[in-house]
């Protein structure tokens, strides 16, 4: 639990607003912590906790998943992402934005 709390601390405010929707007593923050608890795996052979980074979600909602078609880095500290436009002409989907979290 401590490792999950330390991991979420830098983006706690973001996760509290954008990780799913409040469901009864489950706040957005609680849902984000649950995601981390499920993504941090116990390695019983080495007696360590290992984060499975592909399972970590920084936000969760009802937007379409991005379909990346290219990722490149022309210079150190920069990168370019290209993705397939799956908005299907929906004006609301055309206005979707993407935010990167780099760890």
Q: Let me know whether 20 and 39 are in one domain.
A: yes
Structural domains in the chain (count)? 2
Q: Let me know whether 70 and 30 are in one domain.
A: no
Q: Let me know whether 23 and 39 are in one domain.
A: yes
Q: Is 14 within 8 Å of 29 (Cβ atoms)? A: no
pLDDT tens digits along 47-93 = 888 889 888 888 887 767 778 888 888 888 888 888 888 888 888 77
Q: Let me know whether 41 and 13 are in one domain.
A: yes
Q: 49 lies in which domain range?
A: 2-55
Place 32 in a pLDDT band, splitting at 50, 70 and 90: very high
Q: Let me know whether 8 and 51 are in one domain.
A: yes
Q: Let me know whether 50 and 68 are in one domain.
A: no
- Which class for 34: exposed (0-12), middle (13-18), buried (19 or more C-beta within 10 A)? middle
Q: Let me know whether 51 and 6 are in one domain.
A: yes
Confidence at residue 102, expressed as pLDDT on a 0 to 100 scale = 67
Instruction: Give the torsion through C-alpha atoms of 90, 93, 95, 101, to 10 deg.
Output: -160
């Amino acid at each position: 639990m401590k490792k999950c709390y330390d991991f979420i601390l830098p983006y706690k405010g973001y996760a509290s607003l954008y990780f799913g929707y409040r469901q009864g007593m489950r706040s957005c923050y609680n849902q984000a912590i649950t995601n981390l608890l499920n993504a941090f795996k116990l390695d019983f052979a080495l007696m360590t906790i290992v984060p499975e980074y592909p399972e970590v979600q920084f936000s969760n909602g009802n937007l379409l998943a991005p379909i990346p078609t290219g990722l490149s880095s022309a210079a150190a500290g920069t990168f370019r992402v290209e993705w397939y436009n799956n908005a299907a002409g929906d004006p609301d989907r055309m206005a979707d934005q993407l935010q990167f979290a780099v760890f």
